[in-house]
Amino acid sequence: MQETPAPVVDLGLAGKIVMITGAGSGIGRAAVAAFAAAGATVVAAGRRPEPLRESLKLAGLDESRGLAVRCDVTDEASVEAAVETAVSRFGHLDAAVNTAGTFGAIGPIATARYEDAAEVVSVNLMGMWLCVKHQARAMSGTGGGAIVTTGSVASFLGHSGSPMYAATKHGVVGLTKAAALQLAPQGIRVNAVCPGSTDTPMLRELYPDADQLQARAGRAPLGRVGEPAEVAAAALWLASPASSYVTGQALAVDGGVTAGSPAPVRTTKQ
């Protein structure tokens, strides 16, 4: 018997202008593909132009629906210029997904270097604040929009390998909630997507051995690490009109890690 194809869900993103930071790899690249498939025009932002152009090419976007712009999230002038370029090219900004981030150095807090910790704060927290600031400014007075930040399971839990990573990801959720409250009267929604271990270049750099990667997979009740496309799908929904009554929320996409520690079911013979 011939299978009936799954229905296509229209998320209302056709023709929308979406900016994606960290778009050159990992979750950001998957987000470019997801928004392209949903009919959006994508502004791919990041520090290196070539990976951005590759993301647009892989998503099937030509110059009419895709634009690569250089954006260093630690530099306010760079963030402001990237947003202004997007608006100048396409007229306005409807949504943004901010995936740029760094894990930082792994090691004991007692021997951590100030410079390393400051870099994590600069990228993950101050960089996110700069993106939200200038994206919200572009959306103000134009009917509103939606901004998606990227947290982590470390937004809810500690991380012994990098306390500063956990601190900044907790901060991203706090920023998201506060920005959602402030920007709601302007019709701008702000939500966070919080991935668990996801099969990205950053994860494989942190855990290069197969045994290490398997250990990460074993933490999740679903028994595997996530795929970038699965996180991008959540960001797609949060940025779309389909989630029009959702703001100030942190959505964990983590295979169940933050649900708690799974325990074996015990049976007692009578």
Catalytic residue positions? Answer: 165
CB atoms within 10 A of CB 132: 24
User: Tokens at residue 132, please?
Assistant: 């939200």
Q: Which amino acid, one-letter code, is at 160?
A: S
DSSP 175-202: HHHHHHHHHGGGTEEEEEEEE-SB-SHH
DSSP 83-129: HHHHHHHHS---EEEE--------S-GGG--HHHHHHHIIIIIIHHH
Note whether 128 and 148 are within 8 A (CB).
no
Nearest to 205 by CA among 28, 26, 4, 5: 26
* 30 backbone dihedrals φ, ψ, rounded to 5°: -65, -35
Q: Which amino acid, one-letter code, is at 233?
A: A
